[in-house]
Structures are given as structure tokens and as C-alpha cells.
Amino acid sequence: MHIAVIGTGIVGVATAAWLQRDGHKVTFIDPKEAGSQTSFGNAGSISPSAVLPVGMPGMWKRVPKWLTDPEGPLVIRMHYLPRVLPWLFQFLRNMPEAEVTRIAGAIRGLLAPTFDCYTPLLQRAGATSLLRRNGCLYVYSSREAAERWRFGTELRRSLGVEMKCVEGEDLFALEPALRGRFGFGQFAPDNGSTPDPAALVQALYTQALKDGAEHLRDAATGFGMRDGLVHTVELADSAPLEVDGVIIAAGAWSKTLALKLGAAVRLETQRGYHVTIPDPGVELNRNVMAVEQNIMINPMQMGLRLAGTVEFAGLNAPPRMERAEALINVGRKVFGTLKTENYTTWMGHRPCLPDSLPVIGRAPRAENAWFGFGHGHVGMCGGATTGREIANLVAGRTPGIDLHPFRAERFRRA
């Protein structure tokens, strides 16, 4: 089949690679460079342990404090509050323990095969060095402080994630730079990360082009339908492209395209920020999640990256780089010796559904259109598995994981 893949973020390029393994001809549609949007500046964690939804039981109690703290992890811009309220209402409904447990089980299904799904693609692209499997450390000031997160840790364990308690000198043996601020950690040895998310996406994209894919630099605007099938993708500035099938992998921008194919999904952007410090004077061996500070710290090829923050302000409002500056302040508190010269800042749009689950599956209104978007905080973790599963659906094979929780029909039909 000739399949158009709309979007060249991690989900689009991984899906293209899996489709090509089945012999399909791929045309990417994206006005932007591959991996230049949300997949560019994320924290690079590729972790099968990242199973917890964003909304956790009792979390709402901490929201007022977060909203009033300039260095806090959550911001809602006032102009955007009326727009985001219905989404927030749905989000709250997914916070009870039973829902969180169900959601975490579904995410675990998606993330557990992540290395199996990335490895063949990166081998083919000659880019296996862009995936490290050296564990991830969740750190806390003390064992007592970690108690507040016990529910999440035990939920991870119940889903098969190995989480080893490490304390005092054992913690500093893993990460000497953490001495001082932290006293307790949970080490997840099966986790990993990429030293450069943008390079990882570029590597898969370049290989896809070598394997015959083309890239049409234009924005998809709609679809021409015939007998319940998409037969053309309509484009902003070019003639419609004739296709045998289409994949919507346009990240936070997927909502209107999905609506045209029959799915009224509640997709919202959770804007996140990073700072990358080229010469931080601090060495880490692996990805570290400072849980109380709500930031992910990853040693990358281009420097130490600190990433976090959830900001509700929509797709069009300009970035507020003071949010990134706040990460620098948190970083200084975490590492007393952090040098911050020449740091760079960035903002990206996490594509988020209120139940923290992506949409993966066939479009309600077209038999030859499939969705792969809405991966929220775990698009790097789940991108390759999503690609494999979409290829399974296109081929009519039995899915390798339970895709029921990810179906578009969990929202009302358009």
C-alpha cells in the first residue's frame, strides 16, 4: 500500500519504519523538519517504568500550592482557563485509585516492549548508540519523603517494574553528584534513555528515506473520501495526495484531523520546558527523576538537560521562557555546584488526553485510516511500540498488546 504518515515526530517516523518492514510505500506529510517539534527537546527518558498517569489519587490537594509557586510544576494561563476547563474536568474523573490502576496497566502494556520495538529500527539505522539501557533513578530527600509516593511505586511494582530501594552510600555509588540533597532512591534497572531525542528521530527518518520514503513538506488539512475509504489527503499548498491508507501522527495538532475521520478526541497540549546546560560541572551516569521537585534530569550529548513543567496555554500562545528559567533555579537547589553558563531553553507541546492514554487504532469513519497520537509525557517511551502496533493493524495481524484502552471510541463519536 501507499501510506501517508502525517507527522514526522517520534511516532510518525517509528510507524513509517514498521510499515516499511511490511513492504509499504510511505510518504511523510509534514511542513516542518523531522523531529523538530515535541520530539526535539524532551527529557529523553525511554522507560518501561513510566506507567503512572499524570493525574494521581489525591493530587488535586497539591494543585493550589503548585499554582501559587513561581517554581512550581503547574501553570494555567488565565486567558486559557475557560478553554481548558472541560478537559480538566475529565482529567479529574480519571484520578480515583481504580481508574489510575487501570490506566497504568494499559500504559505498561504499551511501554514494556519498548526496547524490543526500538532495537531493530535503530540497528537498521546504524544508531543503536542513541538508546542507552542503564536504568533510571527516582530520587527523594529521604525515605520518609518517598512514602508520599508509595502508591505509585507499589503500583509500578505490581505491574512488573523492578524498583530497587537504594539509600545513603548505595545511592551515591550510583550517582556521586546526588550527595547532599538526596538520601533515598528507587532504582529502575530496566529503564533507559536517549542521549539525543532529536538525533534519534532524525536517524529513523533518514533511514526511512533511504528505504524509499518521500517527504511532502506541507500541512494536511483534510481527506477525500470514497466508499468509506480515504483516497486522498488534502494539503494546504499542494494538490491532494492519492493514498491507499493514512496514519495520523501529528502529535498535539492531531485533533482536527481526527475529527474529520470521526473521532472527537479531547486532545490538549501540556506545554513543557527544558534547559540544556553545555558545561554544567555536574556528572550524572543516567536519567534521574527528582520526584519532589518534579523535574527529569538527563545527561545528554549536548549537555545536562533539566525538563519539566506542565503549562496550560494552548497551541498558539508564545512560550514563557521564565518557566524554563525556573528549572535552572530548581537545578541550582538540587546540585549546589551547578554551573549554568550558556544554557539554552525550549518549549514543546505534549499531546495529552485526559486519561493520560494515547489514541492508537483505526479511525471510526475510514477503514484505511489509523491513529497514533496523544502520547503525552511518554511519546519517546511509547513511540516504537505504537509504530509496531499500527503496522499490525494495517496488516490485519493480531495486535502484540491489548489496544482496547487506546481506541478512539472511548470518546464520543464525532
Ligand X SMILES: Cc1cc2nc3c(=O)[nH]c(=O)nc-3n(C[C@H](O)[C@H](O)[C@H](O)COP(=O)(O)OP(=O)(O)OC[C@H]3O[C@@H](n4cnc5c(N)ncnc54)[C@H](O)[C@@H]3O)c2cc1C
Is residue 338 a contact point for ligand X (CB under 6 A)? no
Exactly one of 5, 12, 146, 159 binds ligand X (CB under 6 A); that residue is 12
Is residue 16 a contact point for ligand X (CB under 6 A)? no
Cβ proximity of 124 and 166 under 8 Å: no
One character per residue 290-319, x = contact with ligand X (rule: CB under 6 A)? ------x----------x------------
Q: How far is the CB of 192 from ligand X (least distance, A)?
A: 10
Pick 38 or 94: Cβ nearer ligand X = 38
Is residue 192 a contact point for ligand X (CB under 6 A)? no
Is residue 174 a contact point for ligand X (CB under 6 A)? no
- Closest C-alpha to 100, from 405, 389, 401: 405
Pick 183 or 376: Cβ nearer ligand X = 376
Exactly one of 29, 208, 230, 277 binds ligand X (CB under 6 A); that residue is 29
Cell numbers linked to 292: 519532589
Is residue 406 a contact point for ligand X (CB under 6 A)? no
Is residue 356 a contact point for ligand X (CB under 6 A)? no
Cβ proximity of 347 and 271 under 8 Å: yes
Residues 203-242 that bind ligand X (CB under 6 A): 219-220
Q: How many CB atoms lie within 10 A of CB 177?
A: 22
Q: Which stretch binds ligand X (CB under 6 A): 79-87, 173-181, 244-252, 404-412?
A: 244-252
Q: Which stretch binds ligand X (CB under 6 A): 33-41, 136-144, 334-342, 399-407?
A: 33-41
Pairing assessment for the beta strands 45-46 and 192-193 based on DSSP bridges: antiparallel
Q: Which amino acid is at 281?
A: G
Exactly one of 55, 72, 135, 351 binds ligand X (CB under 6 A); that residue is 351
| Cα–Cα distances in angstroms (integers) from residue 406 to residues 11, 146, 292, 375, in the given order | 15, 31, 30, 10
* Cα–Cα dist 320/41, whole Å: 16
Is residue 331 a contact point for ligand X (CB under 6 A)? no
Q: How far is the CB of 23 from ligand X (least distance, A)?
A: 23
Q: Which amino acid is at 363?
A: A
Exactly one of 26, 43, 155, 159 binds ligand X (CB under 6 A); that residue is 43
Is residue 200 a contact point for ligand X (CB under 6 A)? no
Q: Which residue has the cell 504499551?
A: 110
Pick 250 or 408: Cβ nearer ligand X = 250
Is residue 323 a contact point for ligand X (CB under 6 A)? no
Is residue 364 a contact point for ligand X (CB under 6 A)? no
Is residue 138 a contact point for ligand X (CB under 6 A)? no
Pick 124 or 255: Cβ nearer ligand X = 255
Is residue 350 a contact point for ligand X (CB under 6 A)? yes
Is residue 135 a contact point for ligand X (CB under 6 A)? no
Cell numbers linked to 305: 538537560
Is residue 348 a contact point for ligand X (CB under 6 A)? yes
Q: How far is the CB of 171 from ligand X (least distance, A)?
A: 21
Q: Round to the nearest angstrom and report the end-to-end CA distance of the chain.
A: 27
| Binding stretches for ligand X (CB under 6 A) | 6-12, 29-30, 32, 37-39, 42-45, 219-220, 249-251, 253, 272-274, 296, 307, 348, 350-351, 373, 375-381
